[in-house]
């Protein structure tokens, strides 16, 4: 079935980097863009941006430029989110979501990856 | 930056109709989408393109949009509909996507 499976929880120290993966299955990976969404503890959803899985061209939302990098490995149908110079305020659950251009919706979501930044 | 505004909370009794609103300046020209998120789970799309319902979503969920306001309606709300609901749309240039702040629906 169509699904996105994300990597497991991470505990990192401030200043470190983290790379979250999102593996797609059950559909043609390059047929849909992949978006990333952040949810801080007890807070709402924030759109971080997306990556065109055909061209690899990323677009970053406001507040997510510089330390955030989206990338792909199409050979294994996987999208990645890398965050560098981690800050305590990066503590959040990060979701990947498949973007359907026909509906304009994020129609399939990963289960989320909890990233905790603490000294 | 573009913003979508939702009420923080809505409360209804089981069987009543719940209405959750979302206001945004670009909504007259841009579609609204609605996501349901239950505690500890990933969001689930319940309405797309203002009023369309994905397969598998109960008929009691409906959406509408008029002017700068979109509305998610749950007719005959059930206890299992208790969740946070988020609207989502784009700014007028379709460059940036944004979620509303979320509405906690209580059914009791």
| A-B contacts at Cβ under 8 angstroms | 56
CB proximity B33 to A under 8 Å:
yes
Instruction: Give, as one character, the DSSP assignment of residue B56.
Output: T
CB proximity B39 to A under 8 Å:
no
pLDDT exceeds cutoff 90 at B95: no
Poorest-pLDDT segment among A14-18, A98-102, B11-15: A98-102
When pLDDT is cut at 50, 70 and 90, the band that residue B7 belongs to is: very high
User: Nearest-CA distance from B15 to chain A in Å?
Assistant: 27
Backbone angles phi, psi at A31, to 5 degrees: -85, -5
Closest by Cα among B56, B72, B87, B81 to B19:
B72
Mean per-residue pLDDT over chain B, rounded: 96
Over range B69-98, report the average pLDDT: 94
When pLDDT is cut at 50, 70 and 90, the band that residue B60 belongs to is: very high
Mean per-residue pLDDT over chain A, rounded: 96
* pLDDT tens track for A73-104: 999 999 999 999 999 999 999 999 999 988 88
Over range B46-75, report the average pLDDT: 97
pLDDT exceeds cutoff 90 at A57: yes
User: Nearest-CA distance from B71 to chain A in Å?
Assistant: 17
When pLDDT is cut at 50, 70 and 90, the band that residue B1 belongs to is: confident
Residues 6+ apart with CB under 8 A from B33: A104, A105, A106, B45, B47, B48, B49, B87, B88, B89
pLDDT given at position B96 = 83
CB-facing half-sphere around the CA of A56: CA atoms within 13 A = 9
Over range B2-16, report the average pLDDT: 96
When pLDDT is cut at 50, 70 and 90, the band that residue B101 belongs to is: very high
When pLDDT is cut at 50, 70 and 90, the band that residue B107 belongs to is: very high
């Amino acid at each position: 079935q169509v699904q996105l499976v994300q990597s497991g929880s991470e505990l990192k120290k401030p200043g470190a980097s983290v790379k979250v993966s999102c593996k797609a299955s059950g559909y043609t990976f390059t047929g849909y863009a992949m978006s990333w969404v952040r949810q801080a503890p007890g807070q709402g959803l924030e759109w971080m941006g997306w990556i065109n899985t055909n061209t690899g061209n990323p677009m970053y939302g406001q507040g997510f430029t510089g330390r955030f990098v989206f990338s792909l490995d199409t050979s294994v149908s996987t999208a990645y989110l890398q965050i560098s110079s981690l800050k305590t305020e990066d503590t959040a659950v990060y979701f990947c979501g498949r973007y359907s251009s026909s509906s304009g919706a994020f129609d399939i979501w990963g289960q989320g990856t909890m990233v905790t930044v603490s000294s | 930056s573009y913003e979508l505004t939702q009420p923080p909370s809505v409360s209804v009794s089981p069987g009543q109709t719940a209405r959750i609103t979302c206001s945004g300046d670009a909504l007259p020209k841009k579609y609204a989408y609605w996501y349901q998120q239950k505690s500890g789970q990933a969001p689930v799309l319940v309405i797309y393109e203002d009023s369309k319902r994905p397969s598998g979503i109960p008929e009691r969920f409906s959406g509408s949009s008029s002017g700068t306001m979109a509305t998610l309606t749950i007719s005959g709300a059930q206890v299992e509909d208790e969740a946070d609901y988020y609207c989502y749309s784009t700014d007028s240039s379709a460059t940036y996507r944004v979620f509303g702040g979320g509405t906690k629906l209580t059914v009791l």
